[in-house]
A and B are shown apart, each in its own frame.
Chain A
Amino acid sequence: ETGVTQSPTHLIKTRGQQVTLRCSSQSGHNTVSWYQQALGQGPQFIFQYYREEENGRGNFPPRFSGLQFPNYSSELNVNALELDDSALYLCASSLRLTTDTQYFGPGTRLTVL
């Protein structure tokens, strides 16, 4: 059983640009959640996808959007990047929608200059 993987590991962008982060869930896990972890803080829920549809969203603006694909991969897209978007972005997969144990990838460190 492979774990959750994310790419790229690190990314540097400038304010106003757009970015796409990628995640590959564990095989068979049809639920993926994305979290933002600012320095010194715990992860904050961005949104969750279940069977390719958004299934819940945290307190993040619409410029944060996502996609989930049938092959257990997913994307997080952020438009009009702001300096405060600099953070570690984590994706987590779980086996079922009702399973609360989520398994995390290593994260993508995004720096916005």
Chain B
Amino acid sequence: DQQVKQNSPSLSVQEGRISILNCDYTNSMFDYFLWYKKYPAEGPTFLISISSIKDKNEDGRFTVFLNKSAKHLSLHIVPSQPGDSAVYFCAASVQGAQKLVFGQGTRLTINP
């Protein structure tokens, strides 16, 4: 049972444009959501998070949007840069619980 889904295995975006990565979840108990970025041969790096009491959180070029009624979140990167090329994972948890539940990841490629 895949509780967190990233339905796009890959995404290609031109440098300078907006990248939008999507994530859906099924467990309505989730109340904290995170995005991680992973380069080859490195562990996932925390990017940005959002609590379910908010619908938007912004940090520099990165913005996460949460639509609780649709059980959907998205990560916007603008403007996209070549260094943003990586695999992006969304993750969800119940605050205070032990585990993060991850999606399968989306490989983002930024083309010059």
Which positions in A face B, CB cutoff 8 Å? 4, 6, 33, 35, 40-45, 47-48, 55-56, 58, 90, 92, 97-98, 100-107
B102 CB contacts on chain A under 8 angstroms: 35, 42-44
Contact call A102/B42, Cβ cutoff below 8 A: no
Assess the A56–B103 pair: CB atoms within 8 A: no
In angstroms, Cα B97 to Cα A76, docked, is 20
For B96, list chain A residues within 8 Å (CB). Answer: 97-98, 100
| Contact B104 A105, beta carbon cutoff 8 Å | no
A-binding residues in B (CB < 8 A): 4, 6, 32, 34, 36, 41-46, 49, 89, 91, 93, 95-105
> In the complex the two chains form, what is the Cα distance from A55 to B4 in whole Å?
23
Q: How far is the CA of A100 from the CA of B94 in the complex (A)?
A: 9
Q: Kindly list chain A residues whose C-beta atoms are within 8 Å of the C-beta of B104.
A: 40-42
Chain A residues with CB under 8 Å of B46's CB are 101-104
| Contact A104:B45 (CB < 8 A) given known A40-B104, A56-B98, A98-B96 | yes
Residues of B within 8 A of A55 (CB): 98
**In the complex, chain A residues whose CB is within 8 Å of the CB of B97:** 56
Contact status of A48 and B44, CB under 8 A, knowing A40-B104, A101-B49: no
A102–chain B nearest beta-carbon distance, Å: 6
Q: Is the CB of B43 within 8 A of A100?
A: no
